[in-house]
Chains A and B, each alone.
Chain A
Amino acid sequence: MSDSIPVLKVDLAASTPVYRQIVSAMRTFLVSGQLSPGDILPSVRELALDLGVHHNTVAEAYRMLAEEGWLELRRRRGAMVLYRPAPKPSTDACRDFERRVLELVAEATAGGLDGKQLQAVLKLVAENLLDGEAER
């Protein structure tokens, strides 16, 4: 784990289900290297308690990340971050990514961001994530 403890944030009023928010936020920490192989995560109950959500919500998020190969689930003892080599991207994955970025860019453009701003943000995000991946 990096020096500062990563803090997971979810918005209970957001339209995105909480378990999806947990998966997205944790995947970001994993890819960026803020969570590294060997790190022990809080148990399902502990995390549910802090977030004020049902433990099934957190269990579902952990299960999805475990299926992706990021976590090893340990009964009553939380979860451990695993070493996960990046898989070869499939054509479907590339197409799906392109579609989601397109949606996001359209949303941002509708919100007033111009091309240059978008370019700068995308570049910064990609660099940060790739730095973390290189460290791993």
Chain B
Amino acid sequence: MNYWGEIAARGFMPVAVLFVTGIFLWLPRWTRPDVYFGVTLPEPFRDSEEGLELLAGYRRLVLVFAAVALGCALTGTIFLTNVLQSVAPFVLGFGALIAFVRTHLKTVPFRVPADTVREAPLTVQRGRLPGGRLAQAGPFILLAVASAALALRWNSLPDRVPVHWGLDGAPDGWLPHTHKVLFSVPLIQGAECFLMLIMAMALLRRGHRISATGKLNTGETGFRRTILRVLLVSEYFVAFNGAFPFFLALIDSRQIRRIVLISIIVGTVAVSFLITVWIIIAGVRWSRVRSGRTSKSAPVGDGTPDECWKLGFIYINRKDPAVFVQRRFGIGYTLNLGNGWSWCLLAGMVLIILVPVLVWT
């Protein structure tokens, strides 16, 4: 690929940095109205003078880190430096985290006690995973088909099997022609899908619910459904990632392979962007649901005690049987590290990262 082609391909990173910076700047406004920078506060606080001042301080710090990240991304793009390109998202992510924690500590003095009343409907309310069993089985079927295709072509495969290609359609990554290594690809992707399925089930059956009735309950149920759908889409995405190299290897024409590859890259970026926007829309809609309480009554909060939130974003509560609770920084759910099952899920995630490194290198 020529120099300008490389720059065009790498130009994605500065654009992504700008997009994610925008998200970080608005993130504190996309939480429950009575939780602000990880602290339970009355609903009107975020629009008060102090609330806006805290937000401005957070944004200033995020912008400083965003400028550094953008500098890294642009320099990496112009001088074709991989390290600088890879560093940019970390600078931005850690910078936003530092800005959040700093603002959280400044917000803590304004904390008010949350309502201690909890409610639960006395009826069996087990939700179902989206799409039913067939949709949930889809990713595994896709990987099974890829494995079957691999087994059928086993004897015709070269000693080094291409599994990664450059934008010009030429292979630039290979795996040895052994059962252990090649079949580990669909197996590991299958394990990833399985972990996501377990996470979806844990969210459905072991996820904390803030309210059992009213608007809060309706809003929360809708939001959880969206997150479950996102998880399902992500499972298909992972399964496709594991399956497509084997299908792509079937294509002999380099030109067609190139078109397919570019379509896949564009599709991946588009899907990632759409999923992010989808989560943001659902999160913003959910954050706008008001509890209907007056400013004088205790805020509902998110139904979790403030003292169990370390630095405003790590939840550790041994008394709470929930595995997942709503995030206080960001949109979605986080693990309750006071629950043993959360550690099992974390161990599963670590294994899924480590096993490919051990098998493929």
Contacts and interface: CB of A to CB of B under 8 A. Distances in A.
B82 to A, nearest CB: 46
Interface string A25-61: 0100100000100011111011111111111000000
Contacts of B320: 52
B213 interface: yes
A61 B356 CA distance: 48
A13 B322 CA distance: 19
Interface stretch (B117-125, B176-184, B251-259, B260-268): B117-125
12 contacts: A7-B121, A7-B122, A9-B119, A12-B116, A40-B123, A41-B123, A46-B124, A49-B208, A50-B119, A50-B120, A51-B120, A53-B319
Interface residues of B, number: 24
A132 to B, nearest CB: 15
Interface of B: 116-126, 205-209, 212-213, 303-304, 319-322
A14 B116 CA distance: 9
A52 B302 CA distance: 11
A5 interface: yes
A98 interface: no
A6 B119 CA distance: 10
A126 interface: no
A50 B322 CA distance: 9
Contacts of B322: 49, 52
A40 B122 CA distance: 8
Contact of B122 (A8, A14, A45, A53): A8
A107 interface: no
A41 B213 CA distance: 17
Contact of B123 (A5, A14, A26, A55): A5
B118 A42 contact: no
Contact of A50 (B118, B304, B319): B118
B354 to A, nearest CB: 31
A82 B303 CA distance: 32
A1 interface: yes
Interface of A, helix, strand, loop or mixed by DSSP: mixed
B321 A49 contact: yes
A72 to B, nearest CB: 15
A114 interface: no
Most chain B CB inside 10 Å of its own CB: which residue of A14, A51, A54, A55:
A51
Interface string A1-22: 1000111111111100000000
B116 A42 contact: no
Contacts of A78: 124
B122 A42 contact: yes
A66 to B, nearest CB: 15
A6 B116 CA distance: 19
Nearest to A12: B116
A35 B123 CA distance: 10
A10 B119 CA distance: 6
A50 B116 contact: no
Given A7-B121, A9-B119, A10-B119, 20 more contacts: A1-B123, A5-B121, A7-B120, A7-B122, A8-B122, A40-B123, A40-B124, A41-B122, A41-B124, A43-B124, A46-B125, A46-B205, A47-B120, A49-B321, A50-B118, A50-B120, A50-B209, A52-B118, A52-B320, A53-B321
A1 B153 CA distance: 61
B204 to A, nearest CB: 11
Most chain A CB inside 10 Å of its own CB: which residue of B121, B126, B205, B207:
B121
B193 to A, nearest CB: 26
Contacts of B207: 49
Most chain B CB inside 10 Å of its own CB: which residue of A13, A35, A52, A55:
A52
Most chain A CB inside 10 Å of its own CB: which residue of B116, B122, B205:
B122
